[in-house]
Amino acid sequence: MRNKEYLNNEKRGHRSGALVFRSIVLIIILLCIVLLLIPFQVLTIEEEDGEESAHIGASEFSLRWKHSVEKEDWEEFFVLTDTGILLTKTRFKTFGAGVPNDVGSDTFIKDGWVYMSGIQRSIGTSFYFRTGKTTEHRITVDGQSVKLKANSSYHVTVNQLKLFQALLLKIRVM
């Protein structure tokens, strides 16, 4: 009788252990599925020759270049939102003819730069720009700066992609 009880208890122990294991595996699979379906913001920068970079989860970027006439740096700052790209501020070294004086909510000078902040201008989900021969364009995405090719066109796009789509894009552009 004792042996039968022992064997029945052992069978129940194996069954409950297997049930716990299957439950844990199921929870892990469900978490993976949910994580792969969560939308992520992806910033893509494509150069005219097809070279492309993808930035998953990027929240902001800036474009900086040397003005072709003044030969001074200009920089525009953008934030990525649920609806697209938002120009939030700009800064430049010289303030002269052709520069608007009423953009944004605040204009001030700091460390030799003229800042115009509080702009909040919606750009949409993409825009194009072209680098010049001597403009030394740079793009900085979440703190990492890259020098862009001279005399090239670029297309900047922000999309909401599922994590698995974003990862596939990242692998494709590597």
Confidence class of residue 7 from pLDDT cuts 50, 70 and 90? very low
pTM: 0.76
If asked whether residues 116 and 78 sit together in one domain, one would say yes
If asked whether residues 55 and 32 sit together in one domain, one would say no
If asked whether residues 60 and 18 sit together in one domain, one would say no
If asked whether residues 58 and 129 sit together in one domain, one would say yes
Say which residue, 70 or 141, is predicted with more confidence: 141
Domain extent, residue 126, equals 41-173
If asked whether residues 29 and 71 sit together in one domain, one would say no
- The count of domains in the chain is 2
- Are 169 and 42 in contact by the 8 Å Cβ rule? The answer is yes
pLDDT digits (tens, 9 = 90+) for 96-120: 777 777 788 898 889 999 899 999 9
If asked whether residues 86 and 165 sit together in one domain, one would say yes
If asked whether residues 119 and 160 sit together in one domain, one would say yes
